[in-house]
Amino acid sequence: MKLLTTAIEAEEGALKVKVRWLITKEIGAENFAMRLFEIEPGGYTPLHSHPWEHEVFILEGEGVVIGENKERACPTSYHSLAPLSGTSLHSC
């Protein structure tokens, strides 16, 4: 099993974000992916949406989940199934 242990810069539209791909199709997970995001203070992921659900679990620090017309504070240990509509994660 090959795990990506090196953090790489996140996709275009992200600011101060690095990502580690932990579980992928390349290692045999056909229906599941797991990534670890490192979002520096003031950093964020781009507003995005897709046809599958995704889960968010905050390991350390605090942030804000921004969705369609609402924001939700998310302290350490916050976890949620993100809605199918657009979401963005922001670090505090």
The domain limits of the chain are: 8-91
How far is it, in rounded angstroms, from Cα 52 to Cα 74?
Answer: 21
For the chain, how far is it from start to end, CA to CA, in angstroms?
34
CA-nearest of 28, 21, 19 to 1 is 28
Residue 60: what pLDDT?
86
Between the CA atoms of 69, 74, 78 and 83, what dihedral angle is there, to the nearest 10 degrees? 10
Tell me which CATH code domain 8-91 carries.
2.60.120.10
Tens of each residue's pLDDT in the chain, 92 residues: 455 566 777 778 888 998 888 888 888 988 888 888 888 999 988 887 777 777 777 888 888 877 777 787 877 776 665 554 566 767 76
